[in-house]
Structure formats: C-alpha cells, structure tokens
C-alpha cells in the first residue's frame, strides 16, 4: 500500500504582487500547501472560487512559478528545473485537463491531430504505430468508432466528447500524474457521471495519480480517495474523504457540507448559520485564522495565532485551534 508518491508537494507558496512600487502588497494565493499524490488514488482539492485551488494545479503544471516551497517528482525537485528537455520530460509525466472543453481544443484541427501531436512530440511510439495508438487511445476514452471520431473537428462533437478528446490527449504521453481542473463543471448533468467513471477506470487500470479539483463535494466523494479542503489559500482540512465528510473537523468544511445540495435533506433542515465573508485569498492577511470572522466556534486565540495543520487522528488533519488543537496548546 505504501507505493512511492510520484508527486510530493512541500510548503508550496505563491504570492502575486499587487499595488505599485510605493505600496507593495501581496495576495497570498497559495500558502504553505503540502500533500502527496499516489498512484491509483484520486485526491480531491475542494474550495470556493478564489480559494487558490486552480493556482495549485497551475503551479504543479509549471504554468506559474512558485514563490517558495518544493514539488518533488519521483524524488527530485522540479521547480528549479529550467532546461527545455527536463521541462518537457516533466510535462510528459504530469498532464493537465482543463475545465473548458470548448477552449482547450484547436477548432481548425481534427481530433486525430490533437491526440497524435503529443505522441510525436514526446516520441512515445514510432511513426509507423502512431495511427494505431491514436485509435487505441480514443477507444480507451469511449470514443467509438475511433476511425470516424479521429476525422472530426471539435465543433462536430458534444461537450462531453470534447472533454474525452482532451483526456485522450492527456493520456497519450502515458502520464503518471493527471491534474484535472473542474473537468465536469461545464458539462451537462447526464454526461458528467460518464467522465467521472472514466477517471475511476483510468485510476484503476493505469495506476494514474489524479488531482481532482472541484467545488462540488458530491462528485469529489464519488471519485476521490482523499480530500484537501482549501480556504483563502490554505489547506484547512485533509484526510481520507469518507472520514472527512462524515466527521469534518474544520468549521469551514462543515459549512461547505451544510451548503451543498443533497436530495436527501431539505432546505428547511437545520443549516449552519455563518456570517458572510469570502473564501478568496487575502492581500497580506494578518496573523490568525483566516476563517475567524465567519466562524461560529472562534475563541480568543483564533484572531492572533495562525493555526497549524494538526493531525487529529491518523491522516486526518485540520487547521483549527478549537477542533484540532496543537498538542502543546
């Protein structure tokens, strides 16, 4: 069970500079985030808009430069790597799927082109086998008959089919890690499950380590093994997903759970009352818990001391002075 983590994230931090030369300030978009992605496991990264979850994915895909922290891929730090070849190698192992299947495909190129390109660039198979491999990939993601689909242009496909093309393209390079940033949120309800089932199958058959970024707790529960909950740039709770969702520690996780629609409950069911506020990252936040102004459990210490991520039970950690106090408190 203790397979080595292909991707290990340590104290990853990203600050975006705002303001001008006289008044420098920084948005703490991602603050001290650590986690591991393991083969054959889906890790859900959940949070509201602006909480920093997409920035994490972009840092991992090296679309942004991190301010500090480390990303270890099979043991070696990738953030310091700048050589074209090394970056190419890393990118071939860590692939990304985006939210918008309409924007991520080139409208004037066929499906074949999209899936074939990574095969050629990364020299995955000899030229003579490229065509065969394209069909195989399309079959894997459920696009049949592959000969017909390969000849189509993106506008001839539905949203769900396009997202499957994007997934086939990501799989072409045989990645160890796939970062999926809200892959179903723009799709129609009835085809979302198909994409989630595809992710589950790929995780099982290909032992891929998935990072599934979403704001939807129910779909996270459906596909993920582990969960990270982000609030204002920090991970506020992490652990095995069933445990976190059935016994949430952080008041923000509780709030998210009580706000999510669940056909089993009713609108008038007792919901957590919370003061209004924003989950988005703050400009130079003061010390203290970032949820304090909205928290129903807040005590004195919460407004002065930033809580650490404390393991309250094996693997289940939270950043809260009240529900997960540090042993020395």
Partner 1 sequence: MTSLAEKPTTVRTADARLLELRGLGVDYGVGTKAARAVDGVNLTIHEGEILGLAGESGCGKTTIANAVMQLLRPPARITDGSILFQGENLLGKSTEELRRFRWRNVSMVLQSAMNALNPVMRVGDQFVDAMRAHEKIDRKRALVRTGELLELVGIDRRRADAYPHELSGGMRQRVIIAMALALRPELIIMDEPTTALDVVVQREILQQIDALKRDFGFAVLFVTHDLSLLLEFADRIAIMYAGEIVELAPADRLGANPQHPYTQGLLDSFPPLTGPLTRLQGIPGSPPDLRDPPSGCRFNPRCPHCLPDRAALYARQTTERPRLRVIEPGHEVACHLVAEGAA
Q: Which residues bind partner 1 (CB under 8 A)?
A: 48-49, 158, 160-161, 188-194, 196-197, 200, 215-219, 221-222, 245, 255-267, 271, 274, 276, 278-279
- Give the Å distances, CA to CA, from 81 to 70, 87, 91, 96: 11, 7, 12, 19
- Please report how close the Cβ of residue 307 comes to partner 1 at its closest, in angstroms: 21
CB 34 to partner 1: min, Å = 25
In the bound state with partner 1, the residue whose beta carbon lies nearer, of 5 and 217, is: 217
Give the span between the Cα atoms of 285 and 21, in whole angstroms. 19
C-beta of 43 vs 253, nearer to partner 1 = 253
Phi, psi of 260 (to 5 degrees): -70, 140
| Of 5 and 245, CB closest to partner 1 | 245
Q: How far is it, in rounded angstroms, from Cα 186 to Cα 167?
A: 15
Instruction: Name the minimum Å distance from CB 161 to partner 1.
Output: 8
Minimum distance, C-beta of residue 218 to partner 1, in the bound complex (Å):
5
Give the Cα separation of 155 and 147 in Å (integer): 17
Give which of 105, 88, 89 is closest to 168, Cα–Cα. Answer: 105
C-beta closer to partner 1: residue 54 or 95: 54
User: In angstroms, what is the minimal distance from the CB of 188 to partner 1?
Assistant: 4
CB of 261 to partner 1, least distance (A): 4
Angular region, 19: left φ>0, alpha ψ -120 to 50, beta rest: left
Please say which residue, 1 or 264, places its beta carbon nearer to partner 1.
264
Listed residue (261, 248, 240, 326) closest to 289, CA to CA: 326
Nearer to partner 1 among residue 11 and residue 49 (C-beta) = 49
Q: C-alpha 171: how far from its chain's center?
A: 17
Distant-in-sequence, close-in-space partners of 223: CB < 8 Å, separation ≥ 6: 42, 44, 196, 199, 200, 210, 212
Smallest distance from partner 1 to CB 203, Å: 13
Nearer to partner 1, 155 or 271 (CB): 271
């Amino acid at each position: 069970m203790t397979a080595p983590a292909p991707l290990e994230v340590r104290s990853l931090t990203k600050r975006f500079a705002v303001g001008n030369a006289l008044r420098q300030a920084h948005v703490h978009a991602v603050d001290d985030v650590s986690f591991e992605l393991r083969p054959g496991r889906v890790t859900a990264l959940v949070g509201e808009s602006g909480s920093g979850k997409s920035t994490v994915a972009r840092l991992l895909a090296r679309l942004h430069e991190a301010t500090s922290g480390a990303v270890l891929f099979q043991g070696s730090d990738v953030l310091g790597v700048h050589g074209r070849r090394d970056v190419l190698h890393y990118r071939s192992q860590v692939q990304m799927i985006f939210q918008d299947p309409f924007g991520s495909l080139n409208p004037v190129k066929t499906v074949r082109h999209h899936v074939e390109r990574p095969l050629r660039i990364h020299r995955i198979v000899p030229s003579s086998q490229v065509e065969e491999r394209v069909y195989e990939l399309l079959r894997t993601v459920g696009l049949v008959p592959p000969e017909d689909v390969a000849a189509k242009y993106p506008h001839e496909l539905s949203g769900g089919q396009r997202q499957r093309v994007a997934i086939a393209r990501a799989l072409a390079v045989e990645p160890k890690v796939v970062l999926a940033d809200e892959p179903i949120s723009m799709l129609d309800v009835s085809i979302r499950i198909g994409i989630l089932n595809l992710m589950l199958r790929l995780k099982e058959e290909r032992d891929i380590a998935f990072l599934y970024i979403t704001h939807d707790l129910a779909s996270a529960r459906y596909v993920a093994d582990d969960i990270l909950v982000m609030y204002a740039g920090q991970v506020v709770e992490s652990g095995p997903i069933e445990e976190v969702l059935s016994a949430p520690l952080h008041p923000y996780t509780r709030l998210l759970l009580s706000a999510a629609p669940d056909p089993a409950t009713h609108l008038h069911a007792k919901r957590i009352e919370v003061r209004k506020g924003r989950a988005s990252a703050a400009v130079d936040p003061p010390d203290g818990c970032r949820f304090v102004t909205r928290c129903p459990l807040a005590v004195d210490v919460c407004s002065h001391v930033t809580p650490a991520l404390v393991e309250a039970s094996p693997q289940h950690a939270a950043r809260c002075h009240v529900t997960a106090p540090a042993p020395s408190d």
